[in-house]
Structure 1
Amino acid sequence: MTAVIYKSKYGSTKRYAEWLAEALGADLLVRESVRAERLRQYDTLIYGGGIYAGGIAGISLLKNCFPAAEGQRLAVFAVGAAPETPESRKALLSKNFTPAMAEAPLFMLRGAMDFGKMTLKDRMMMNLMKKMLDKKPEEEREEWEKNLMSLWGRASDWCDPANLQPILNWAEN
């Protein structure tokens, strides 16, 4: 049995989790309603959370309980606005994965960004990031920083069920 567990703030992670659970015939579980002991009944756990300040939302559930049972498989998908880079992958792994989770694959998916739907706190954090980027010469900006600046203030949505194919391939092996 497979469980897709997710924590979503603005909806992108929820959309991916719903598509994934449907494609796999898996149970769909909301992070806030899941206790670690419930996860022991599953052979495969796929966890999804949004990326906020380098952390994967709600991943503490897995950090505190994995491996819950011998033979369980684990995969994690992280959803953010920026495209994946080797640096962002390395940072997510080091900040969010414990040694027990080291063998689990990390899938990075692009979500959506809508400044109009952000909380005041998130808008303030984004504005601080923009101020920092404004001070950085454009030729020194990383690709994701240039991309973010080009999208500033607009709603953008990169969610696509096709982005789930690598996870589906992993789950079916």
Structure 2
Amino acid sequence: MKAVVVYKSKSGFVKKYAQWIAEELQADIYEASKIDVNMLMLYDTIIYGGGLYAVGINGLKILTKNLDKLKDKKLVAFATGATPSRSEDIEKVKNANFTPEQQKYIRFFYLRGGFDYTRLKLIDKVLMNLLKLKIKSKNKNKLIPDEKGMLAAYDEPIDFTSKKNIEELILYVKAK
């Protein structure tokens, strides 16, 4: 099996998982801007990782737009975000990013990442500040735990990455 891990990481959490996965599978690894579909054709297994923004997976189109060329390969996508792994949220992300047809060919995994406001670029900081204002405008007694945690993360970065989180993905890739 010749495998490649491709990733797009804005704040380092996706990159950390991509490196762990590539190491575990002895796979090649590339930042998404350094690879194209022709290079992907050289591999039997393609693993793509991107950060989760709202419900969109950053950079995923390299897989979805080229599915007709890649569907005979083992295709895996993973996304990272700061929220806990809940099946209803994962289904929402999967259905927002993959059509039912794409879901037949691409296996999706959610790997809990983190949030570090200091690593964001200006445009992302602006967007996150808008979210912060929206959350802060709510009645403090009506904030859900995720919102309270998000507000706290602006002041103190959070990192939920764990090598243990990749185990299911690794087992899936190694299965025949």
TM over 0.5: yes
Q: Distance in 1 between matches of 2:71 and 2:107?
A: 17
Aligned ranges 1:80-95 → 2 under 5 Å: 80-95=81-96
Contact 1:4–1:28 (8 Å) recurs in 2 = yes
The residue aligned with 2:38 is 37
Contact 2:115–2:153 (8 Å) recurs in 1 = no
The residue aligned with 2:56 is 55
Compute the TM-score of the two structures, normalised by the length of structure 2. 0.87
Contact 1:39–1:68 (8 Å) recurs in 2 = no
In structure 2, runs of 5+ residues without a counterpart are none
2:118 aligns with one of 116, 119, 144: 116
CA deviations over 1:30-88 (Å, ceiling 9, x no partner): 21121112212222111100112321111011111114245311111101122223343
Q: Output the aligned Cα RMSD.
A: 1.9
Moved more, 53-62 or 108-117: 108-117
Deviation at 1:139, TM superposition (A): 5.0
The residue aligned with 2:159 is 157
Correspondence 1:9 to 2:10: yes
Secondary structure of the structure 1 residue equivalent to 2:41: helix
CA deviations over 1:146-166 (Å, ceiling 9, x no partner): 321233311121222121111
Q: 1:107/1:63 Cα in 2 relative to 1: closer, same or farther (>3 Å)? A: same
Q: Distance in 2 between matches of 1:24 and 1:75?
A: 13
Q: Distance in 2 between matches of 1:153 and 1:92?
A: 27
Aligned length: 173
Q: Which runs of 4+ in 1 moved over 4 A?
A: none
The residue aligned with 2:168 is 166
Q: Distance in 2 between matches of 1:115 and 1:98?
A: 32
Identity in percent: 33
Q: Distance in 2 between matches of 1:117 and 1:69?
A: 33
The residue aligned with 2:97 is 96
Deviation at 1:92, TM superposition (A): 1.6
Moved more, 92-101 or 60-69: 92-101
Deviation at 1:172, TM superposition (A): 1.3
